[in-house]
Structure 1
Amino acid sequence: MGIPLSPRPAQVIDLDAMRQRQQARKRLIRLAPELDGLEMVYHLPDESDAYFGMPLLAWGLREDGEVVGLVPWMEHLTPCQVLDDPEHGRFIGYRDPETEELFELPPDHKVMELEQAAAYFEYETTDEPTLIQQLPDTQGTHALCMDEGDAPWQLKQIFGWRLYSDGAVEALLADEQLVDSTPILLGDACLYPGHSRHRVVYFFQRQIANRIRREDPATLEALALMVMPESSES
């Protein structure tokens, strides 16, 4: 006759803690600029046969060891793999416009660059986010800044990007009243992180920013539709 086994106590699983750990391993710990013109390729569902290329701004190494391409997209410097939106675009892969080669994984030389840099620059973990890296913006990226209330939009050039120890990346904008020398360079006192002053910051490539400045009707109409939900919440 067998001996009855005592029931094992139920194991309590903290789903929030598990999600936080998984999210932490996705945070960026090192950036490398993309200087060879490689692109992100994405697809818009409304354009069934059309694919679009967007220059990569940088590559990022995550804490879990994954390397991802990064593009200024909507309100963030965004990993390409995150773009899976039926309205705004779906990531397809990376492309070398010189050879027209399409590939799914980051190039080996960027993976090695990021891994070696991360191993060389070791940063201590602190309770408060600290600045760990700065990159200049090499593409003429602009930010459309929206403040509280009825304050007008501001279209501002982005001069650089800051990576913090918590994985957050901030665009650096210039306070025109504090500019005392040109060209504006990283480290200048006139630069500030966009979200430290503005409620909403949308990113645009240089050609789109120029259309906004020229008050192109189609561009302004699309812009108004995009920011209308944000404006109605203020």
Structure 2
Amino acid sequence: MDPRKPGTTRTATILPFPDRPREVDQQKILQLSPEYEGLCLLYSHHALSHDKLYAIKILCWARLADGSVVALVPWLKGIARCIDLDNPESGCAEGYYCPRSERRFSDAPEHHQRALEVRATYPNNSPIVQEIPDLTGSHAALIHEDNSRFQLEPVVSWQLNDKGEMTAMLADTSETKEWPILPGSDCLYPATEENGFRYFFQYHIANQIKSGGVMATRALSKLITP
């Protein structure tokens, strides 16, 4: 085609390409299905071992904006989708695992996929889309201002808001008159409101810290260091 000469009139309309969805938008969490059967996420962690796989209990399954269904686990300072764990040096997802049957698998269980499809049909006019209980024994580690004292607070529940963000909810026991403390209780508050919040610990790590086990020294050294 000949180059257009200066001064000639355009005969075609230039249409912009449609905006492509950002990857972060495609991975937004839309709905949750709590994991009640103790299924685990397997992951490798080369900083700990090149020969072993580790297991962490799955908190729930989530449908993302791109339609995929993935497992969610408490990880360091927040919630991680299994697709976020992609570095063998710090944690790389290696599939799912059922401790009872010792079966490994790679896709979300069908009943969770169906539950999430049904959940997607629920109307919602609240900024809090869902609140689910923490059935994995997650604990939030809190450091006091002088770095000399810490405490481990069990996570009661997790809230999913309409932005696709997950928030761990802790209990202020001085503000409750009802026991046991359940998701949605008025005494719950976000862990992120604590200035001394550091990490989320898995159930077995939290209990080793409480009992002064071998893992406690390693965990505490990371905990006290800002």
| TM-score > 0.5 by shorter chain | yes
C-alpha distance in structure 1 between counterparts of 2:145 and 2:80, whole Å: 25
Query: Within 5 A, what are the aligned runs for 1:201-220?
Result: 201-216=198-213, 218-220=214-216
Task: Read off the aligned partner of 2:111 and give its amino acid letter.
Answer: H
Identity of aligned residues (%): 31
Is 1:162 the equivalent of 2:159? yes
Is 1:190 the equivalent of 2:187? yes
Structure 1 gap segments, 5+ residues each: none
Task: Output the TM-score relative to the length of structure 2.
Answer: 0.84
C-alpha distance in structure 2 between counterparts of 1:100 and 1:74, whole Å: 27
Is 1:172 the equivalent of 2:172? no
Kept in 1, the 8 Å contact 2:98–2:104? The answer is yes
Question: For 2:71, what is the secondary structure of its paired residue?
Answer: strand
TM-aligned CA deviation for residue 148 of structure 1: 5.2
1:188-225 CA-partner distances (Å, limit 9, x unpaired): 21111111233534111222111111222x32321233
C-alpha distance in structure 2 between counterparts of 1:6 and 1:200, whole Å: 66
Kept in 2, the 8 Å contact 1:170–1:193? The answer is yes
In structure 1, the residue matched to 2:35 is 34
* Deviates further, 203-212 or 164-173: 203-212
In structure 2, the residue matched to 1:138 is 135
Question: For 2:79, what is the secondary structure of its paired residue?
Answer: strand
Structure 2 gap segments, 5+ residues each: 7-11
Question: For 2:50, what is the secondary structure of its paired residue?
Answer: coil
What do you get for the CA RMSD once the two structures are aligned? 2.9
Which of 99, 112, 120 is the equivalent residue of 1:110? 112
In structure 2, the residue matched to 1:5 is 4
Question: For 1:36, what is the secondary structure of its paired residue?
Answer: coil
TM-aligned CA deviation for residue 149 of structure 1: 5.8
TM-aligned CA deviation for residue 51 of structure 1: 1.3
Larger radius of gyration: 2
Task: Output the TM-score relative to the length of structure 1.
Answer: 0.82
In structure 1, the residue matched to 2:222 is 226
In structure 2, the residue matched to 1:152 is 149
Count of residues in correspondence between the two structures: 220
Residue 61 to residue 198, structure 1, CA distance change in 2 (3 Å): farther
Query: Within 5 A, what are the aligned runs for 1:16-165?
Result: 21-45=22-46, 46-118=48-120, 120-123=121-124, 130-146=127-143, 150=147, 152-165=149-162
